[in-house]
Structure 1
Amino acid sequence: MSHSTLSPEPFAILAMPRAGTHYLEELLNEHPNVLSNGELLNIYDTNWPDKDRLLGSDRELLERAFLRYPTRSDKTVTHVGCKINEPQFHERPGFFAELANWSGLKVILMIRGNTLESLRSLVQARQTRHWLKFSSDDAAPPPPVTLSLAACEAYFKAADDFHAQVANAFGPTKMLSIEYERLLRDPHACVATILDFLGVPARQLSSRRILQRQETRPLDQTLQNFHELRVHFAHGPYARFFELGDA
C-alpha cells in the first residue's frame, strides 16, 4: 500500500454517541480527496481490519490513523480522518491529550442539539443491537424505551463536559462545531462549511444516501416515561430537551 509523498492533512470527528457522525462521514467520503475511516477505537469497525491495533500505544494508534491509514483506490487523499465517540476516551485515559497534541489536527465536533434524543437513540440501539439503518432496510421502528432520571442527568452532564473539553483543547481555529439537526435540514451547506474549514475544494453532493434515520417519531412516543422526565427537568437548564417538535 502506497501513499503520496506528502502526508494528508489530519482531522477527527468527535461526538457523543448517536450524534450523526456516520451520516456526516458518508457525506464527507463522497469527496475524492477526503477519506474518513470510521471509529478508530472501535474493535468492530470494519474500516480497520487489524483489530490488534488497539494493543498499541496512543501515539501508535494515531500514526495508524493519519500516516498508515487504510486507503481506497478511487481516491487521491489530501485529508484523512477518523471518528471518536466520547465514551471511547474513557477506555484510554491519555488518548485525548495525545490527540490534542497531534500536529496540524483539525476537529469537527458534532453536537446533537437535543441531548435527550442522543441518549434515547443510544439506549434503543443497545437494546435492539441495530446501530444503523440503510436505505434497503424495511425494519419496523425500534420499540420505546424507559430512561432513569439518574441516567439522564449523568448523560446531560457528560455531554456538556465533553463539548467544553473539546472547545478548550482545540480553540476556534482548529475546531468546527456542526449541529446534527442542521446537518439533517441542510446537508449541502453543512458539508460546504466543513470542506472550507478543512481547506478542501468545494464539491456538490450527490442525492444518493445509504444511511437513514432509525427513529423519526417525537420523544413522547419513544420514551415511555417522557412526562415524568419532563416534569423533573421542567425548571432547569435541560428543560429545552423536552420541548416537542425538535428534531
Structure 2
Amino acid sequence: MKLTFIRHGHMAGDPFICPERPVQGCLSEDYGILQAEATAEALKDEKFDIALSSPYGRALQTAEIVLAGRALDIRILPYLYEWMPNRELEKVPSTVFEEMQREAGEAYAEETWKTDMGEGYFDMCTRIIPPFLKELGKLGIHSRMGGFVPDEHAKELSVAVFGHGGSLGVLLNFLLSVRPFPVGSFSFAHTGTAMIQFAERKGIYYPQLIIPALHKISER
C-alpha cells in the first residue's frame, strides 16, 4: 500500500472557491500550472489506483493536471480543505485585524492551540482525521491496533491525495505518530510530494515516510 500526498501549485483567484470541473483559473499561469505539469512529468511512471482531492480549486486543478491522460476519477473529500480562518474577522477594521495578527505572531507556540484568528490545531484534526480514516476503510484499509489492516485487494493499492500544506500536514502527523503541536512538523512546498508506504508486522501495516536519495545512482 502507498499513500502519495501532493500539495497544490501556486494559486490564483479566490482561495475558498470550490469550482465545477474541469477547473480553470485556480492556479497561476506563470507558476502554478507549470508546477503541476512538472509534477505530472515526475510522477508519470507512478501507479495510482485511487485519487482523492480537497474541494478547493487550487488542489483540484492540480489533481486534474497531474492525472491528465489517466483513466482515473478524482473523488472529492469535502472536509480536506485548508485551515479555516475566522470569516467574521473580514468585518472588523483593518487596524483591529492587524493588531490581532501581531498579537498572535508574538505569542509562544504553546499559547496558540486556539486563537480568535480561526481554527485551532485540534479543530483541524477532528475535521480531517476521522473522516479520512473512514475513507480509507471504504477502500479496504482499516485502522487497527496502532496501524492498518488491509483487505486482500487493498494490499497493492496506491492512493494519491491532493490537498494543502496544513491539511496534509495534519494527516502526516497522525500517520507517523508525531506529537500534535500548533507549529506544523512538515512543510510542503507548492506541489511538494510526500510518499507513505506501509511495512507489515504480523498482519498489521505501519506507515513509513519514504525519504528518497537525491541522486540516481543505483546500488549493485
Bucket of the pairwise TM-score, normalised by the shorter protein: under 0.3
Higher RCO (CA 8 Å, separation ≥ 6 residues): 2
Query: Greater helix share, 1 or 2?
Result: 1
Q: Which structure has the highest strand share of the two?
A: 2
TM normalised by structure 2 equals 0.28
TM-score, normalization by structure 1: 0.26
